[in-house]
Amino acid sequence: MLGCFPLYPPLELFHSMGLEPLVLWGMKPFLADTARSDQHLQSFVCSVGRHLTEFVLSKEGALIDGFFMYNACDTLRNLPEILRSGLEERGHRSPILNMHIPMPSLGQTDARQYLSKEIDRLIDQLSDAFGVSFLQSRFESSVALYAQARELARQLETAVTMGRLRFGAFAGLIQGNAFRSVEGQIGAMSSLLSDEGQVVGDRVGNRSAIDIILSGILPPPAGVSDIIEDAGLNVVGNDIASLARSYGYTPGNETWRSPSDYYVDFYYHHHPCPTLLGSSDRRIDTLEALIRERGARGIIFLGEKFCEYEYFEFPYLMKRFKENGIASLLLEFAIDDDENLGPMRTRIEAFAEMLREGDKT
Amino acid sequence: MIHPLKPRSRENLSAIMSRYYEGNHAQAAEGKFVVWIAIIVPTELLKGFDLVVCAPESHSAMCAARKMGAVQCEKAEREGYSTDLCSYARIDLGTFFDEGRGSPTLGLPKPDLMISNNDNCSLLTKWFDVYHREWDVPHFMLDVPFCYRPQQDKDLRYVLAQFGDLIRVLEDMTGQTFDIDRVRQAVHTSNEALTHWMRFLGMAAHRPSGITAFDMFAHMAPYFTWMRGEPEMTAHYRLLAEESEAELAAGNYPVPNEKYRLLWDNIAPWHQLRNMSSRLAEMDANIVYSTYATSIGRIEDRLNFYEWDGSDPLRYLARIQNRGWCCYGMDLRYKAMSEMIERFSIDGLVFASNRSCKVYSVMQMDLKRRLTKDFGIASVMIDVDHADVRKYSEENAFLRLEALLEQIDGGRTS
> What are the tens digits of pLDDT across the range A130-149?
999 999 999 999 999 999 99
| B121 contacts A41? CB cut-off 8 A | no
Query: Which pLDDT value is given to residue A143?
Result: 98
User: Which pLDDT score, from 0 to 100, does residue B396 have?
Assistant: 97
- Angle made by CA atoms B268, B269, B274, in degrees to the nearest 5: 100
Q: Is the pLDDT of residue B373 over 80?
A: yes
Band (pLDDT 50/70/90 cuts) for residue A7 is very high
Residue B37 parent element (H or E): strand B34-37
pLDDT at residue B1 tops 90: no
Q: In this complex, do A100 and B146 lie within 8 Å of one another by their Cβ atoms?
A: yes
pLDDT in tens, A79-99: 999 999 999 999 999 999 999
Cα–Cα distance for residue pair B397/A97, rounded to 1 Å: 38
A66 sits in which H/E element? strand A66-70
Sorted by sequence, the CB contacts under 8 Å of residue A329 that are 6+ apart come out as A298, A299, A300, A301, A347, A348, A351
Of the candidates A98, A121, A306, which has its C-beta nearest B84's C-beta?
A: A306
Q: C-alpha B170: how far from its chain's center?
A: 26
- Cβ(A95)–Cβ(A67) below 8 Å: yes
pLDDT at A196 over 80: no
Task: Write the DSSP symbol of residue B175.
Answer: -
Task: Say which of B331, B359, B365 has its CB closest to residue A41.
Answer: B365
Residues of B within 8 A of A103 (CB-CB) are 118, 125, 141, 143
Apex B125 CA angle, B122 and B130, nearest 5: 140
Q: State the sign of the Cα–Cα–Cα–Cα dihedral B182, B183, B187, B188.
A: negative
By CB neighbour count within 10 A (0-12 exposed, 13-18 middle, 19+ buried), where does A338 fall? middle
Instruction: Quote the longest CA-to-CA distance of chain A.
Output: 66
Least confident of A347-361, B13-27, B175-189: A347-361
CA–CA separation, B63 and B88 (whole Å): 9
What element of type H or E holds B293? none
Task: Using an 8 Å CB-CB cutoff, list chain B residues near A98.
Answer: 148
Residue B334: closest C-alpha in chain A: A81
Residue A205 pLDDT class (50, 70, 90 cuts): low
Tell me the backbone φ, ψ of residue B131, rounded to 5 degrees.
-70, -35
How many contacts (CB atoms, under 8 Å) link A and B?
Answer: 137
Is residue A326 very low, low, confident or very high in pLDDT (cuts 50, 70, 90)? very high
Helix (H) or strand (E) holding B89: helix B87-97
H helices present in A57-96, as ranges: 79-89
Q: How far is CA B110 from CA B98, B105, B107, B318, in A?
A: 13, 13, 9, 27
pLDDT beyond 70 at B2:
no
Give me the pLDDT at residue A4, please. Answer: 97
Mean pLDDT throughout B91-99? 97
Residue A204's pLDDT is 47
* pLDDT band (50, 70, 90) for residue B169: very high
The string of pLDDT tens digits covering residues B145-168 is 999 999 999 999 999 999 999 999
Give the dihedral sign, CA A180/A184/A187/A191: negative
Q: Which of A130, A103, A107 is nearest to A118 (CA)?
A: A103
As a whole number, mean pLDDT of residues A10-36 equals 95
pLDDT at B229: 96
User: For position A339, what pLDDT does the model report?
Assistant: 75
pLDDT of residue A198: 55
* pLDDT band of A361, cuts 50, 70, 90: low
* Chain A nearest CA to B91, separation (Å): 14
What is the percent of chain B where pLDDT is above 70?
99
What pLDDT score does A29 carry?
87
**Burial class of residue B226 in the structure, from the number of CB atoms within 10 Å of its CB (0-12 exposed, 13-18 middle, 19+ buried):** buried
pLDDT band at A155 (very low <50, low <70, confident <90, very high): very high
**What is the SS3 assignment for B277?**
helix
Residue B195, pLDDT above cutoff 50: yes
What's the rounded Cα separation, in Å, for the pair B357 and B20?
26
- Whether the pLDDT of residue A55 is over 60: the answer is yes
ipTM of predicted assembly, 2 dp: 0.95
Contact criterion met (CB < 8 Å) for B154 and A305: no
Let me know: does B325 contact B333? Beta carbons within 8 Å: yes
* pLDDT > 60? residue A207: no
Predicted pLDDT at A195? 72
Whole-Å CA distances, A340 to A31, A221, A224, B373, B405:
18, 11, 10, 41, 42
For residue B128, what pLDDT is reported? Answer: 98
For residues B292-304, average pLDDT: 94
What residues of A are in contact with residue B161 (Cβ under 8 Å)?
A: 109, 111, 114
Interior/surface letters B21-39, b for 16+ CB within 10 angstroms, e for the rest: beebbebbeeebbbbbbbb
Decide: A178 and A51 in contact? Cβ < 8 Å: no
Confidence of residue B404 (pLDDT cuts 50, 70, 90): very high
Alpha helices, H only, B103-221: 123-135, 153-174, 180-202, 213-219
Give the distance from CA A87 to its chain's centroid: 25
State how far the Cα of A16 lies from the Cα of B267, in Å rounded to an integer: 45
Angle between helices B364-375 and A79-89 (to 10 degrees): 50
DSSP A193-250: HTTTTS-BTT----TTPEEEEEEESSPPPHHHHHHHHHTTEEEEEEEETTTHHHHS--
pTM: 0.96
pLDDT at residue A194 is higher than 90: no
pLDDT exceeds cutoff 90 at B371: yes
pLDDT mean across residues, chain B? 96
pLDDT of residue B79: 97
State residue A338's pLDDT score: 73
Residue B414 — pLDDT band, cuts 50, 70, 90? low
* Average pLDDT estimate for B332-350: 98
pLDDT at B5: 83
Contact A74/B121, CB-based, under 8 Å? yes
B141:A277 CB<8 A: yes
User: Quick one: which of B229, B231, B237 has its CA closest to B203?
Assistant: B237
Is A315 within 8 Å of B364 when comparing Cβ atoms?
no
pLDDT at site B154: 97
